[in-house]
Structure 1
Amino acid sequence: MLTALEVITTVVVGVMVGVEFSVAFVLNRIFNALPEDSGQLGRAHGGRMLGAVMPVWYIGSLVLAALWVIAGWHEHGTGLVVTAAGLLIVSVVMSILLLVPINNQSKTWTPENRPADWKEQMNRWDRFHYVRVAVIIAAFTLLVAALA
């Protein structure tokens, strides 16, 4: 049972890392290179789509890591999983305090109603997102190390 939980947690967090990495280093660069208002519209659509899925994914990853800690408390590598869970908490707090407020505004923007500083707000979101990606990559790395 513990082995299945370890594998499921690692895969769920790993896929989340892959999605967030691709948003940071692939999708947003594609959106930024699109002509006229296409990039802003693409980001707004992505904010709506991923904004609906990612909260469940982040909280679910944290719950799975917590269950791994509880189920494997006396197992080798538990300290790594505790640290990974702590980093996942940091990622959730960052999301709620820094990224979600910007996303909630930007997902409603159109070329007609976006604020004058929309590009600066997107750049701020990107900077926070880069840090969040680094945090969840670190958490994923610790989970993988705990399996070894």
Structure 2
Amino acid sequence: MLDTLQVITIVVVGVMVGVEFAVAFVINRILDALPGDSGQLGRAHGGRMLGAVMPVWYVGSLVLVTIWAVAGWQQPGTGLVVTAGGLLIVSVIMSVLLLVPINNQAKTWTPENRPADWKRQANRWDRYHYVRVAVIIAAFALLAAALV
């Protein structure tokens, strides 16, 4: 049973990391290269779409890691799992305090109502997101190491 939980947790966290990595290093770069207002409109749409899914994914990942840590308390690697859980908590706190406030504004922007400094705000979101991606990659690596 613990083996199944570990595999499910690794897959869920790994796919989340992949999506967030793709947003940071692929999707946003593509959107930024589009002509006219297309990039800003794409970011707003992505903010609405992923903004609805990612909170469930982050919290769900944290719940799975917590269950793994509790169920495998006496197993080797539990310290790595607990540390990964701590990093996921950091990523959730970062999201709530730093990224969500920017995203909540940006997802409503259109070319007609966006603020003059919208690019600066998007760049600030990107910088915070890079740090969050590094944090969740570290958590994922710790979970993978805990299986070895």
Q: TM-score range by the shorter chain?
A: over 0.9
Specify the alignment match of 1:48 in structure 2: 48
Letter of the 1:76 partner, please give it: P
Counterparts of 1:21 and 1:119, CA distance in 2: 20
Counterparts of 1:117 and 1:42, CA distance in 2: 17
CA RMSD of aligned residues (A): 0.2
**Which whole-Å deviations, capped at 9, do the CAs of 1:120-144 have from their partners, x for residues lacking one?**
0000000000000000000000000
Specify the alignment match of 2:93 in structure 1: 93
Aligned runs of 1:66-145 on 2, under 5 Å? 66-145=66-145
Letter of the 2:90 partner, please give it: V
TM, length-normalised to structure 2: 1.00
Counterparts of 2:53 and 2:147, CA distance in 1: 27
Counterparts of 2:79 and 2:6, CA distance in 1: 14
Specify the alignment match of 2:64 in structure 1: 64
Residue 106 (structure 1) shift: 0.1
Residue 33 (structure 1) shift: 0.1
Residue 51 (structure 1) shift: 0.2
Runs of 5+ consecutive residues of structure 2 not aligned to the other structure: none
**Which whole-Å deviations, capped at 9, do the CAs of 1:11-64 have from their partners, x for residues lacking one?**
000000000000000000000000000000000000000000000000000000
Residue 98 (structure 1) shift: 0.2
TM, length-normalised to structure 1: 1.00
Letter of the 1:120 partner, please give it: R
Indicate the percent of aligned positions where both proteins have the same amino acid: 81
What is the number of equivalent residue pairs in this alignment? 148
Counterparts of 1:111 and 1:141, CA distance in 2: 40
Specify the alignment match of 1:31 in structure 2: 31
**Which whole-Å deviations, capped at 9, do the CAs of 1:69-124 have from their partners, x for residues lacking one?**
00000000000000000000000000000000000000000000000000000000
Runs of 5+ consecutive residues of structure 1 not aligned to the other structure: none
Letter of the 1:30 partner, please give it: I
